[in-house]
Amino acid sequence: MYNNEERAIKFIIQAFKGSKTKIDNTEKCFHSILVGNSIKEITNSEEIITAAYLHNIINYTEYGYEDIEEKFGSIVADIVSEISEDWALPKWIDRKKEFIKRMKQSNDINNINIVIADKIQDLLSYREFYEKKNNKLWKELNSTKSDIAWFYRELYNIAISKNANSKLTNRYKKELIYYFGDMT
């Protein structure tokens, strides 16, 4: 019988079957596996690790809270729900503002760590495109460089203010500097 981590990996592979990322054209499940592996390096909590693997399920698949709760329990479903964006908000900037507001209010450092691990993987996946096409990246992401920089920097500031895992925040800061320059 599979353990929770293995079941989560199997689930994301099935949930994202044939779905590729927009910028680097890799399987979406690969991103989720990398985020889960990053969180696995900083905690032994089965629920937190499982939620990290499943972090994009609500945002990008047909599966919702109830599906996660049924398969992995309410703790995991609650975490995934809390770190999912509100897609009822049609505009990118409105979703990001609402998400920032929720992360500022969150008292669960594990949620912040998962979000930072997710954003690290996002930024890493943009590298090759950015190196070839530079500022065309922002158009591909349906926003402006300044809005995207604001969003990623706000998440960094939240992570720092809440004492998120230093291994994650240090790596995140390096990526932010690469794309957006000095952090001061």
Q: What string of DSSP letters covers 18-46?
A: T-B-TTT--BHHHHHHHHHHHHHTT---H
Is this prediction's pTM over 0.75?
yes
CATH number of the domain where residue 124 is located? 1.10.3210.10
Cβ 79 vs Cβ 111: under 8 Å? yes
Structural domain span for residue 156:
4-180
Tally the domains of the chain: 1
Phi-psi region of 51 (alpha: psi -120 to 50; beta: other; left: phi over 0): alpha
- At residue 184, the pLDDT reads 61
- At residue 134, the pLDDT reads 84
Question: How do the pLDDT tens digits run along the chain, 184 residues long?
Answer: 889 999 999 999 999 999 988 888 899 999 999 999 999 999 999 999 999 999 999 999 999 999 999 999 999 999 999 999 998 999 999 999 999 999 999 999 999 999 999 999 999 999 999 998 888 899 889 899 999 999 999 999 999 999 999 999 999 999 999 999 987 6
- What is the rounded CA–CA span in Å between residue 165 and residue 167? 6
- What is the rounded CA–CA span in Å between residue 184 and residue 163? 18
